[in-house]
């Protein structure tokens, strides 16, 4: 079994399910820490800052530092700043997105923006969408943190960021660059942050259509754990397979 020098790790379904931790995740992260193996928690969540996500993990006794969290907002800000460091941005989103744009030194504007970037916004309004459409029609590059059209909540499935993004696409006829999983962009940016060659990094996740496809499309080896969205039976129906599968992360510890 190949040994990996760094890991990219999904959160929901891999480390926890909603507000409930997955017990084996604690032992898995402790094993990585014991062997001093670098890892990043990679999430499509654009609404929270890294320290807020790390706080949730630590509250579940899953050890995490702020610098070990990589969000779709971070990937979007990094993507823009690498393409155009002095770019102006019109953004729709919540605290996490605006925080990362500020950290990257990008300037916010409402008119003649170089980029429009969309994250989940639970206070979305017609005026916000109007400004986004006008900027895109005026030539702004169009980015979205993820394509999730629906997200699970205690109330049931509710509109996700992909649903908000689709309004702008339908109105303008212009499709965005999606940054989050399953697109490879967030993987590429996370790999840069880790600083390890792809062949030495393993992507771990529970969702074939986001975590595993993102890892494969980025050229990474992948580990699917059957503690979340995708079951072993589901996987049988897909032509492309993850490099490895495991019932729980506890079973993987011996290969670390």
Coil, helix or strand for 193? helix
Active-site residue, selected from the candidate residues 10, 114, 206, 211: 10
Tokens encoding 194: 């880790």
Contact between 56 and 19 under an 8 Å Cβ cutoff? The reply is no
CA pseudo-torsion sign 76, 78, 83, 88 = positive
Q: Cα 72 to the chain's mean position, in Å?
A: 4
Contact between 11 and 205 under an 8 Å Cβ cutoff? The reply is no
Active-site residue, selected from the candidate residues 12, 24, 206, 211: 12
Contact between 140 and 91 under an 8 Å Cβ cutoff? The reply is no
Tokens encoding 98: 């605006």
Residue 10 annotated as catalytic: yes
Starting at the edge strand found earlier in the chain, the sheet holding 115-118 runs 107-108, 88-92, 115-118, 141-144, 177-178
Q: Active-site residues: which are they? A: 10, 12
């Amino acid at each position: 079994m190949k040994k990996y020098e760094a890991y990219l790790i999904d959160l929901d379904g891999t480390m926890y399910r909603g507000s409930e931790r997955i017990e084996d995740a604690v032992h898995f992260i402790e094993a990585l820490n014991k062997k001093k193996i670098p890892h990043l928690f990679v999430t499509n969540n654009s609404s929270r800052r890294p320290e807020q996500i790390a706080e949730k993990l630590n509250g579940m006794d899953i050890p995490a530092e702020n610098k070990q969290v990589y969000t779709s907002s971070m990937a979007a800000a990094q993507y823009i700043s690498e393409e155009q460091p002095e770019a102006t941005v019109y953004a729709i989103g919540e605290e996490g997105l605006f925080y990362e744009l500020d950290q990257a030194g990008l300037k916010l504007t409402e008119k003649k923006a170089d980029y429009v970037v969309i994250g989940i916004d639970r206070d979305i309004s017609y005026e916000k969408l109007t400004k986004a459409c006008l900027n895109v029609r005026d030539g702004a590059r169009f980015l979205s943190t993820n394509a999730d059209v629906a997200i699970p909540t205690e109330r049931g499935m509710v509109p996700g960021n992909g649903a908000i993004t689709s309004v702008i696409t339908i109105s303008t006829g212009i499709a965005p660059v999606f940054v989050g999983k399953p697109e490879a962009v967030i993987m590429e940016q996370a790999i840069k942050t880790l600083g390890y060659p792809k062949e030495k990094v393993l992507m771990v996740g529970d969702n074939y259509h986001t975590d595993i496809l993102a890892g494969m499309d980025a050229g990474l080896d992948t580990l699917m754990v059957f503690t979340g969205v995708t079951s072993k039976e589901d996987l049988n129906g897909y032509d492309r397979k993850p490099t490895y599968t495991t019932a729980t992360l506890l079973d993987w510890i011996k290969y670390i």
